[in-house]
Amino acid sequence: MIKEHYFFSQPHQPFFVLSFVNAIVFMLIFMLSFKGIITLSITPIIFHAYSFVYAFFTPAFLAFLLTTFPRFLSQETVKKSVYMKLFGLFVLGNTTFLIGSFISVLIYKIGMVITLIAFTMAIKVLYDIHKSSDMPNKHDTFWMLIGFFAGIAAHALFILGEFNELAIEISIYTYLFIVGFSVAQRMIPFFSHCMVDKNKPFLRNVVILLGIHVVLEMIYLNLSFIVDAVLALYIAKELHRWKLPFPNTNPMLSILHVSLFWVPIAFALAALSNACSFFFASYFLALDIHVLMLGFLFTVLIGFGTRVTIGHSGNQMHANRLTVFLFIWTQVVVIVRLITSFTAEMNWNYMILFDISVTVWLIMFIVWAIQFFKVLIFGTKLT
């Protein structure tokens, strides 16, 4: 009986499984629709953007934060009745959106609304934890919540359907990146035993610059190259100040360091590609977004997700050979997608590389599921 209910014993377990199943299902459908093999009631690009923000990354965020947010603020853990209600609504919303994508606009919009309700309820849970805490330093959790509130705004814009470009910009830069980076800049130096004094204005300044990025994109497409260059230099300078112990012999730590190093690289590449697009009408197949989302957010998600899965299941905090392979494979996913964008700019047949990039993505999550779903669902001990 205990084993039967283990899957729902901690919030990260069902939410990680949902996130990683969605990563496989939605990517496969996107590939088929993008290639014209199947027809959806929603454009492939909006299907891809929305599903990966609110069906893949968002459940993964909640898997981590519903577990760790109370610890950040010295509060009681989230009750099972609360996170199970949220999980059920996310499953219903994501599934309705998926079905509606094949059937009708009305049904996938209903799925979006259900997901927005679940998303808003989840943020309310986190906000209440933040508000009730007497901790003197709530700086990091404040900016995490700011990112989540931006996610609500972007979600509403997706539902309206008239401001999809703005919805994508807000959801990527002022929701996903702000939340992910707020967590990373708090946890990775801690795991790395870096004793540098915290630069309190740093996170605030990054958020302001990201807001300027979105505004510039709305003024004129690709104009954000100006602020992207500033972000690359500013974040690189701060990471250098931390003196992270890289390289090191601990794969569980190294993967997190690699994710952070991608941040200034991603903004530097964004500055370069957006400048070329602005001045010379170049076409990089959304290089700026994908390097940031894959290089940083996807890599750090795999790093944190693996760490939480192992650490909260009674397993030794150790990366076996298959886990090390998965960490290396994350970088294969990033590099292949980066090359795909450059081949698009050179007017080569990038669809071959597009197929390869989808394939390496699917391999990543299928192998991760084979390795860790048994831990999340049954509490299996790894060897």
How many percent of the chain have pLDDT more than 70?
Answer: 99
Q: What are the C-alpha distances in Å from 53 to residues 32, 94, 120, 164, 241? A: 19, 11, 14, 13, 31
Q: Give the model confidence (pLDDT) of 156-186 as tens digits.
A: 999 999 899 999 999 999 999 999 999 999 9
> Encoding tokens for residue 361?
């993505």
pLDDT-derived band of residue 1, with 50, 70 and 90 as boundaries?
very low
> Encoding tokens for residue 227?
């602020």
Give the mean pLDDT of 192-215.
94
Residue 30 has pLDDT above 90, yes or no: yes
User: For all residues of the chain together, what is the average pLDDT?
Assistant: 95
Residue 3 is predicted with a pLDDT of 46
CA-based end-to-end distance of the chain: 24
Q: Give the model confidence (pLDDT) of 47-57 as tens digits.
A: 999 999 999 99
Q: Interhelix angle for 58-72 vs 80-103, to 10°?
A: 160
Taking CB atoms within 8 Å and a gap of at least 24, the contacts of 24-27 are 24/362, 24/365, 24/366, 24/369, 25/98, 26/51, 26/52, 26/55, 26/56, 26/98, 27/358, 27/361, 27/362
Residue 314 is predicted with a pLDDT of 84
Does residue 212 contact residue 230 with C-beta atoms inside 8 Å? Answer: no
pLDDT-derived band of residue 250, with 50, 70 and 90 as boundaries?
very high
pLDDT-derived band of residue 316, with 50, 70 and 90 as boundaries?
confident
Give the mean pLDDT of 124-137.
95
State the pTM of this model: 0.95
pLDDT-derived band of residue 312, with 50, 70 and 90 as boundaries?
confident
Residue 161 is predicted with a pLDDT of 92
Give the mean pLDDT of 10-26.
97
Mean pLDDT lowest among 265-274, 301-310, 348-357, 363-372:
348-357
Distance, in Å, from the CA atom of 223 to the CA atom of 35, rounded to the nearest integer, reads 30
Residue 59 has pLDDT above 80, yes or no: yes
Residue 4 is predicted with a pLDDT of 52
Does residue 330 contact residue 255 with C-beta atoms inside 8 Å? Answer: yes
